[in-house]
């Protein structure tokens, strides 16, 4: 008998605290599948963020550290630098990564930290009750933009994955969505590629996953998926922005003379 | 044994490597830059990790990650940078992670200046971060003591699973003195609770306890550790206190200057002594059981340790204060003047 479906080894069989229709569960599963696929569960350390996924360590059967808000890439840097043969990933929301933790993700990416970043974007702060995030769409109502996000007051959406993809230290950057089986399949490939970038010692791998927040969006789970397709996808185009897997030979040659700054 | 003439920041850095420290994350700030500069060369030689972080916020969180992964790890900074590290320190205390943080204090508040100060006394002894936090705080007064306390700081941090802080001032960081360095030791293997990969039962490092009753149990556990530290770890030095009518209380560099003033006062026939707290937290309350006529607390701040002296002495004799602020270092003559004034007060025999 061939088993064609089942729970990934790394995904624990426990009830999740996420709201009905939330897509964190799907994304947790994609991370668990990638860890299983590469057979690295026993040498993987996850870093949980502050946000709805603060308790991610309850669901993924790997060693975990829980970081301060936005600081997961710095914590992951500390782990990876002292344990370079381990696999280290962060799991961060958009408030955590793109707002309070913008400096930490930017510099981890610039340094080319050999870590994998799973970045979940639902366009607002879910856990604290639906306030505006840097990723909130123009006109979108949140509890701190009751009349909708006014770009003249609050600025526009931060497409941080595009920004990070410009950095030399980033080996893989993609944005996908988990709003349909076909999209989830593409997202799975992107999550795997973001882990592969680390396993190949090429640099930082990041996948942004457009997610839904039915409760704070005020929509049913199905309507939230439709809203994500209709409004989030045009503002946040899907696809692979960078993938250095085809140019493994493009790495700087070792033993190069260090460049000395002029006195 | 060989003694080497070294600058304080470099002696501290070398002592850390010899104490088995194999990871350093830090951000440049005067007057402690030589620590990171020295370690950027020395740690890779010793098979360790040096990384210049993008900020003190990132540095302390890198320390968090490395400590959780089982490394003997440190950072160093100066006052404005220490403020930024207090967020991460609270998480480290909450998650019970050991590390060494060196604060080479400078004049404040705000950007202040880069001159020596003890203005972060309250911050290191009472406010390492939000919540019910404490960490062991050591205050060396010579470079030899600085070197010796580095090893102790790691030992205590790991024994109690809490951060240790060395509270130095800009003078200790910048001056040169002969020091005898300890024999190098290798770091211990990572303890069982560290996240090194779940080959057996998985490990979680976290400071979140959503249920108030659970968090209460966690904090009660921390409080029991604090009590254990208060009972076992206070350290201080006394000098000529047995017959003293006035006892000066000073720590760090200020204690060295105060000692010169005490020497001169004794030469004038005044019966004065000195108590020098070495641990600022736990404060060495036991050292204050004597009852002089008056106490004189001397600090390079607006009067902070004086509160601990008042608490420790319980009002049995008046506690006077002499301090300089803004990065100004008191001269022995100024402290001698203060001693003469206090000695001339009511209750102190002529």
> Taking CB atoms and an 8 Å limit, are B53 and A62 in contact across chains?
no
Residue B250 has pLDDT above 60, yes or no: yes
What residue ranges in A16-137 does DSSP mark as E strands?
A: 44-48, 63-66, 87-93, 116-121, 124-125, 131-132
Q: What does DSSP say about strands B163-169 and A131-132: parallel, antiparallel, or unpaired? A: unpaired
Per-residue pLDDT band at A72 (split at 50, 70, 90) = very high
- Which of B57, B60, B56, B55 shows the shortest CA–CA distance to B23? B60
pLDDT given for residue A254 in this prediction:
52
Instruction: Please tell me the predicted confidence (pLDDT) of residue B350.
Output: 66
B192 and chain A in contact, CB less than 8 A: no
- Residue with structure tokens 């205590």? B156
Give the model confidence (pLDDT) of A73-84 as tens digits.
999 999 999 999
Confidence of residue B35 (pLDDT cuts 50, 70, 90): very high
Q: How far apart are CA B232 and CA A221, in angstroms?
A: 58
**Looking at the predicted structure, is the pLDDT value of residue A249 above 80?**
no
Question: Which residues from chain A sit within 8 angstroms of residue B85, using beta carbons?
Answer: none
Helix axes A72-82, B56-68, angle to 10 degrees: 50
According to the model, what pLDDT value does residue A3 have?
A: 78
Per-chain mean pLDDT for chain B: 97
- Give whole-number Cα distances, A171 to A165, A192, A241, A257, in Å: 8, 13, 10, 24
Please report residues of B whose CB lies closer than 8 A to that of A80.
Answer: 65
C-alpha torsion A204→A42→A28→A176, nearest 10: 30
Number of A to B CB contacts under 8 A, please give it: 132
C-alpha A227/C-alpha A211 separation (Å) is: 11
Please state, in angstroms and rounded to a whole number, the distance separating the CA atoms of residues B44 and A258. Answer: 16
Determine the pLDDT at residue A251: 53
What tens digit of pLDDT does each residue of B200-216 get? 999 999 999 999 999 99
Contact in structure between B295 and B246 (CB atoms under 8 Å): yes
* Residue the block writes with tokens 């002292």: A82
Residue A262 has pLDDT above 70, yes or no: no
Distance CA B174, CA B243 (A): 36
- Among A51, A28, A234, smallest CA distance to A130 is for A51
Binning pLDDT at 50, 70 and 90, where does residue B347 land? Answer: confident
Better-scored residue on pLDDT, B59 or A260: B59
Return the pLDDT at A246: 79
Distance from CA of B74 to the nearest CA of A (A): 11
How far away is chain A from the Cα of B35, in angstroms, using its nearest Cα?
A: 19
- pLDDT, tens digit, 9 for 90 and up, residues B212-242: 999 999 999 999 999 999 999 999 999 999 9
Q: Is the peptide bond before B109 cis (omega within 30 degrees of 0)?
A: yes
Q: What is the pLDDT of residues B45-102, one digit of tens each?
A: 999 999 999 999 999 999 999 999 999 999 999 999 999 999 999 999 999 999 999 9
**Sorting pLDDT into bands at 50, 70 and 90, what band is A263?**
very low
Query: Cα–Cα distances in Å, from A166 out to A110, A146, A171, B343?
Result: 9, 34, 10, 70
Tokens of B10: 């470099």
A 10 A CB-CB count for A235 gives: 16
Q: Cβ contacts (< 8 Å) between A103 and chain B: which residues?
A: 54-55, 57-58
**CA–CA distances in Å: residue A230 to residues A121, A207, A227, A247:** 15, 21, 5, 35
Q: Which residue of A has its CA nearest to B193?
A: A63
Residue A252: pLDDT over 90: no
Please state the ipTM of this predicted complex: 0.96
> Can you name the residues that pair with B218 across neighbouring β-strands?
none
Flag whether residue B129 sits within 8 Å of chain A, measured between CB atoms.
no
């Amino acid at each position: 008998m061939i088993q064609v479906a089942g729970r990934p080894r790394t995904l624990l069989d426990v009830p999740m605290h996420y709201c009905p229709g939330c897509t964190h569960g799907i994304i947790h599963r994609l991370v668990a599948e990638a860890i299983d696929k590469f057979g690295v569960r026993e040498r993987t350390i996850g870093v949980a963020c502050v946000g709805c996924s603060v308790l991610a360590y309850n669901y993924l059967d790997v060693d975990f550290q829980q970081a301060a808000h936005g600081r997961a890439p710095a914590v992951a840097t500390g782990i990876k630098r002292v344990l370079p043969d381990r696999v280290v990933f962060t799991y961060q929301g958009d408030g955590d990564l793109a707002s309070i933790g913008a400096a930490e993700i930017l510099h981890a990416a610039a340094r080319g930290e050999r870590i994998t970043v799973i970045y979940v974007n639902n366009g607002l702060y879910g856990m604290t009750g639906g306030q505006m995030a840097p990723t909130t769409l123009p006109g979108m109502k949140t509890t701190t933009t009751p009349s909708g996000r006014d770009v003249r007051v609050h600025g526009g959406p931060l497409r941080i994955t595009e920004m990070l993809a410009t950095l030399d230290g980033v080996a893989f950057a993609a944005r996908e969505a988990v709003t349909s089986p076909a999209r989830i399949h593409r997202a799975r490939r992107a999550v795997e590629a973001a882990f592969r970038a680390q396993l190949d010692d090429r640099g930082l791998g990041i996948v942004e996953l457009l997610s839904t927040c039915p409760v704070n969006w005020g929509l049913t789970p199905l309507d939230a998926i439709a809203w994500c397709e209709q409004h989030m996808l045009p503002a946040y185009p899907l696809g692979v922005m960078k993938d250095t897997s085809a140019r493994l030979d493009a790495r700087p040659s070792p033993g190069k003379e260090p460049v000395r700054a002029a006195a | 044994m060989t003694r080497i003439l070294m600058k304080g920041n470099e002696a501290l850095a070398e002592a850390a490597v010899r104490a088995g420290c194999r990871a350093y994350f830090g951000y440049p700030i005067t007057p402690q830059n030589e620590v990171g500069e020295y370690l950027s060369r020395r740690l890779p030689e010793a098979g360790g990790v040096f990384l210049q972080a993008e900020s003190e916020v990132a540095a302390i969180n890198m320390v968090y990650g490395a400590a959780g992964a089982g490394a003997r790890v440190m950072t160093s900074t100066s006052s404005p940078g220490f403020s930024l590290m207090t967020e991460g320190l609270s998480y480290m205390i909450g998650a019970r992670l050991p590390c060494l943080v060196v604060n080479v204090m400078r004049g404040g508040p705000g950007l202040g200046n880069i001159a020596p100060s003890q203005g972060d006394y309250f911050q290191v002894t009472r406010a390492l971060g939000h919540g019910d936090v404490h960490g062991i705080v050591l205050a060396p007064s010579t470079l030899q003591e600085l070197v010796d306390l580095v090893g102790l700081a790691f030992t205590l941090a790991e024994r109690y699973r809490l951060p240790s802080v060395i509270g130095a001032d800009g003078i200790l960081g910048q001056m040169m003195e002969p020091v005898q360095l300890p024999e190098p030791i290798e770091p211990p293997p990572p303890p069982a609770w560290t996240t090194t990969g779940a080959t057996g039962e998985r490990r979680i490092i976290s400071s979140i306890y959503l249920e108030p009753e659970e968090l209460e149990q966690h904090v009660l556990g921390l409080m029991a550790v604090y009590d254990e530290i208060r009972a076992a770890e206070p350290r201080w030095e006394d000098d000529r206190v047995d017959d003293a009518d006035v006892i000066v209380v000073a720590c760090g560099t200020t204690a060295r200057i105060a000692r010169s003033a005490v020497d001169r006062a004794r030469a004038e026939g005044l019966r004065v002594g000195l108590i020098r707290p070495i641990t600022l937290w736990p404060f060495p309350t036991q050292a204050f059981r004597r009852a002089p006529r008056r106490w004189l607390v001397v600090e390079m701040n607006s009067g902070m340790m004086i509160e601990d002296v008042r608490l420790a002495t319980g009002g049995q004799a008046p506690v006077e204060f002499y301090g300089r602020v803004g990065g100004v270092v008191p001269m022995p003559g100024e402290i001698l003047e203060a001693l003469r004034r206090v000695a001339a007060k009511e209750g102190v025999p002529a």
